[in-house]
Structure 1
């Protein structure tokens, strides 16, 4: 599939800074949200926590070494114990190596890996959902600003009409009714302008919430890539690439491994051990009995330890049945996710096609209303039309212009929603390159084989920006309107 969107928004990738101070293009807005949005950063942290389940599971099959030490004072001993020491110090070193754990370690590790892959797919879904919301917010700001401009222009036009109507009333060419109609339309236009201003402010606040900075002068978004020509083609892509469906399938695999973990609790276990002991009686061994006694001793033992569970009160069977029920739940959830994905793709495709048709029809309506307004004004000048006819024509033109702005916004957002449903609206698809892409798989590869007990990451610090660092901007309105 052509990547027109990727090419369009990645054209300035090398020249643009990694953290733009203020986004003016759609690519910059997506990049800023990608770096500073708390929802996405929280999902990344959650995925890093999920990654650690693999080394945690592997640790159950690795050797363990423990050192124990003690110091003991015998403040009272038996009267018949003539050689009991008064004090002693002991130390023990024990190493244990699991040899066979009934398959629990292997199955638990494989289940953890499946959940890592599911989490990575869910992180892709979080990215796509964020980008979908950012695109909608970006287009909302542009469309609401355009609607404000249209309403401001309408107020200016109606104010001019009122002045002209009043002048003609003064010379007796029009009636008081005509003036009242012009005044009413102007008041209505001013109230609609106030409402449009409120909608614009709400759109900018939503943009700030998602992107992390106020919108400046936003450029028009780049063209969308070539989308499928039929819902069936879009559905075929989504079945393979939709991250929610991929995550659900990996969770089914993990639940199947969980059944093996539960069954392993009924299996025998075998481990090897080595133990060394050191005891020092601190020259107190022997007490009142004369003679020479060795005041230090060391012992060492090695061996195998086997455990064969015979009866556990029915716990293993219950755990197996529980795991099987959860596997069934995961399978049904995967089917429900598939249904939702297919429905989303078909609905997004339908909305996109409908939005394109609405654009064409509203564009024709705007052209027709512009022509109609010119004709009504010309006919009014020769007495064939009234002031009310002009006011109605102006309102029809404004309505169609607003509809066209809204339709263009809806078409772009619907097209991007279709990309997201097909699994093609993530950072790698949108050209957010230049060394800024978060590598979830890289973190997993980093931690999966760490054996050292004291290996830690740096102290966590917030990665996202705060809204309070962007104070509310004053809304400037024309006091004359």
Structure 2
């Protein structure tokens, strides 16, 4: 019985191979296709929902950064009850021991507005850094999309392959049952010994055990499919032909370096880190703001009231804050250097992934050719040995060994075909082409800029745009 974990890793990206395998019966016209599975994975993925929510949070960071350059309006209210009790020590007009009391209830309302006028570009750098972070998060979403679609292909082909292995195991049980029956008949007429019958019985028991294991793998594959695609597998049709791939590894590497989402993510992170360095450096300089206020004070037990207002410019600079500002600059510089180093690492990893995928593709093609020759030879050998055994020229053990060799050859062919498609779709993933848009899936492609355009200017909750945004967020909520 094939190891399930190894079997899955081998089938990771298979999308079309079993057409030439000839081991599956023709599917009905309504059979589920690979495209159906990919659509299901795209529409039902919790990982995609998670990363889309992370992207929306990054979009909001742009609005938050922009708010530093917008007016800040605040109000405060105050209600004060005052009590005053006094006893006179005596004067020319007030006798000693005279007691007096005054009570007052005062209320005040103040409105304060402020606006940052100039900060040497610190806020602008922060806004641009937030935008770069949004772009990086969008590429992270694309990377997650590739993972989801890759897993869907893996799940689809896992079901097909395990189903084929069950079919092979069932056929093996039928053949060995016939061999056991033939061995017993020959034993009855004295053509073979009891040992031959026992050998046939042992091989049949092993075949039944292998069948049970294959059936268990098939059940596991269907559960895996449900997790990856979002529903139970129905009747799966053979996958389509292999995707078109470049024959040049160098060309594929160049394409991957230009468009792979992992590389683009880090490039935007490097840009964001560099902008944050500039923002922290300019934060050491003065900033200029304009401030205005208006206040109203009313005393309830008198006619007294006060109205006041002011407007003015303020310039200020932090001279010393325990070294925090300088440490912040050095920290941002270190983070920028770390991102630059990470970019080199990711580029090398992507290039190596492309090389590995093409190496796997070439290896799988060679294995398919070899396994097909192995199946043909094993079939001829099995037919010949079984015929010779019927004439007494071969033993039961020879027949059983030939049957096992044929089963192994057929299983190897299934695995080799699976490996071919694993490698083919690995190339698409390694070059950044395994997306719903590249595969032309019939789905509503998620637009990452739609939410950004709604929130980038920070609409208030009670504005027309804010109310529209609330409806969008409510629609995005899932139970």
Is the structural similarity TM-score above 0.5? yes
**Quick check: 2:84–2:102 contact (8 Å CA) kept in 1?**
no
| 1:290 aligned residue | none
Q: Which of 329, 333, 336 is equivalent to 2:345? A: 336
Quote the Cα distance in structure 1 between the aligned partners of 2:59 and 2:334. Answer: 25
Q: Which digits, 9 at most, give the CA deviation of each residue in 1:50-101, with x for residues without a partner?
A: 1111001101111111121111111127889x99871211111111111113
Structure 1 pair 229–84 and aligned structure 2 pair: CA distance change class (3 A): farther
Deviation at 1:298, TM superposition (A): 1.2
* 1:200 counterpart = 2:218: yes
| 2:405 aligned residue | 396
Secondary structure (helix, strand or coil) at the match of 1:304 reads strand
Alignment of 1:60-459 (within 5 A): 60-76=68-84, 86-284=104-302, 295-434=304-443, 436-454=444-462, 455=466, 457=470, 458-459=473-474
Deviation at 1:265, TM superposition (A): 2.2
Structure 1 pair 32–218 and aligned structure 2 pair: CA distance change class (3 A): same
Secondary structure (helix, strand or coil) at the match of 1:76 reads strand
Structure 1 pair 127–266 and aligned structure 2 pair: CA distance change class (3 A): same
Quote the Cα distance in structure 1 between the aligned partners of 2:391 and 2:229. Answer: 55
Quote the Cα distance in structure 2 between the aligned partners of 1:76 and 1:205. Answer: 80
Deviation at 1:312, TM superposition (A): 2.5
Quote the Cα distance in structure 1 between the aligned partners of 2:229 and 2:31. Answer: 9
Q: Which digits, 9 at most, give the CA deviation of each residue in 1:168-195, with x for residues without a partner?
A: 1111121111111111110111111111
| 2:26 aligned residue | none
| 2:96 aligned residue | none
**Quick check: 1:118–1:251 contact (8 Å CA) kept in 2?**
yes
Quote the Cα distance in structure 2 between the aligned partners of 1:342 and 1:213. Answer: 35
Secondary structure (helix, strand or coil) at the match of 1:438 reads coil
* 1:58 counterpart = 2:39: no
| 2:27 aligned residue | none
Q: Which digits, 9 at most, give the CA deviation of each residue in 1:9-37, with x for residues without a partner?
A: xxxxxxxxxxxxx9811111111111111
**Quick check: 1:23–1:29 contact (8 Å CA) kept in 2?**
no
Deviation at 1:463, TM superposition (A): 4.2
Quote the Cα distance in structure 1 between the aligned partners of 2:50 and 2:320. Answer: 44
Structure 1 pair 462–200 and aligned structure 2 pair: CA distance change class (3 A): farther
Secondary structure (helix, strand or coil) at the match of 2:460 reads coil
Q: Which of 48, 56, 60 is equivalent to 1:40? A: 48
Runs of 5+ in structure 2 lacking a partner?
A: 1-12, 17-29, 89-99
Deviation at 1:461, TM superposition (A): 6.7
**Quick check: 1:100–1:269 contact (8 Å CA) kept in 2?**
yes
TM-score calculated relative to the size of structure 1 = 0.86
RMSD, aligned α-carbons? 2.1
Quote the Cα distance in structure 1 between the aligned partners of 2:200 and 2:461. Answer: 80
Runs of 5+ in structure 1 lacking a partner?
A: 9-21, 285-293, 465-481
**Quick check: 2:84–2:103 contact (8 Å CA) kept in 1?**
no
Quote the Cα distance in structure 2 between the aligned partners of 1:412 and 1:76. Answer: 90
Structure 1 pair 79–258 and aligned structure 2 pair: CA distance change class (3 A): farther
Secondary structure (helix, strand or coil) at the match of 2:69 reads coil
Q: Which moved more, 1:368-377 or 1:447-456?
A: 447-456
Structure 1 pair 407–251 and aligned structure 2 pair: CA distance change class (3 A): same
Quote the Cα distance in structure 2 between the aligned partners of 1:379 and 1:461. Answer: 70
Structure 1 pair 210–181 and aligned structure 2 pair: CA distance change class (3 A): same
Deviation at 1:313, TM superposition (A): 2.6
Structure 1 pair 23–339 and aligned structure 2 pair: CA distance change class (3 A): farther
**Quick check: 2:85–2:101 contact (8 Å CA) kept in 1?**
no
